[in-house]
Amino acid sequence: MINTLMKKNWLYVCGGIIAVIAAVLVYLRQPEDKPISIEQLLLEETKSTDIVDEEEEIDEIIVDVKGAVNRPGVYTASNQERVIDVINRAGGLSENADEMLVNFAQKVMDEMVIYIPVIGEEADGYTMQEIAGSQSANDGIININSATESELETLAGIGPSKAASIIEYREANGPFQQIEDIKKISGIGDKTFEKLKDSIKIK
């Protein structure tokens, strides 16, 4: 009888010891709150910078540089850059470039054409508008002689088809001589012109 009780008590003691050991092991295996190392902080900062860079890539634009530059062509740029930045990327002005006709301080825009004339070149309306840009920073009026297709589509009553027709007319016939000439475009009549006349210019 006594032996039986002793055996039962011993089993209870052993069970208790095993339970305590198991609890200690579980506690020891829990992850500790370790201080963040400098390396980890730098890694997190790098990841954050990468995310910012990816967001900034959305602001990339395409600019076509023509005329008297050393490496004419199509260049990517930021919408915060100026004409001078893109010209430098194109190798700078050539020796015969007429820099007096260039607004180096103007901000570039998507689909913009930067045309640099040579000295003595006749500065007709089209060439001058390509240099100056299609939209005045002050009045916000669209220049129909140099506006891109996407810019033309911002005008009332002008969709993709009419915008493309305006550019085709411009390329075939040269610059518009007066804003009323836009009515020569198929689909642009007196009613549409009335909506447009205060939002467009030719110079």
User: Is the pLDDT reported for residue 136 higher than 50?
Assistant: no
118 Rama sector, left if φ>0, alpha if ψ -120 to 50, beta otherwise: beta
pTM higher than the cut 0.95: no
pLDDT tens-place string over residues 120-131 = 876 544 444 455
The alpha carbon dihedral of 158, 160, 166, 169 has a sign of negative
Average pLDDT, the chain: 75
Residues 177, 118 contacting (CB under 8 angstroms): no
User: Is the pLDDT reported for residue 6 higher than 60?
Assistant: no
pLDDT tens-place string over residues 13-68 = 666 677 667 666 666 665 554 554 545 555 555 555 554 444 444 468 888 888 88
Token pair belonging to 28: 């020891």
Cα–Cα distance measured from residue 151 to residue 107, given in angstroms and rounded to the nearest whole number:
15
Q: How far is CA 169 from the centre of its chain?
A: 29
Banded pLDDT at 169 (limits 50, 70, 90): very high
User: Is the pLDDT reported for residue 132 higher than 50?
Assistant: no
Token pair belonging to 131: 């240099």
Residue 179, pLDDT score: 92
Reported as type and span, the H/E element at residue 165 is helix 160-173
Work out the angle at residue 74's Cα, subtended by the Cα atoms of residues 174 and 137, and round it to the nearest 5 degrees. Answer: 65
b/e map of 14-49 (b: 16 or more CB within 10 Å)? eeeeeeeeeeeeeeeeeeeeeeeeeeeeeeeeeeee
Q: Beta strand pairing status for 60-67 and 112-116?
A: parallel
Residue 14, pLDDT score: 66
Q: What domains does the chain contain, in order, with CATH numbers?
A: 2-56 (no CATH), 59-201 (1.10.150.320)
What contacts 197, CB < 8 A, 6 or more positions away? 179
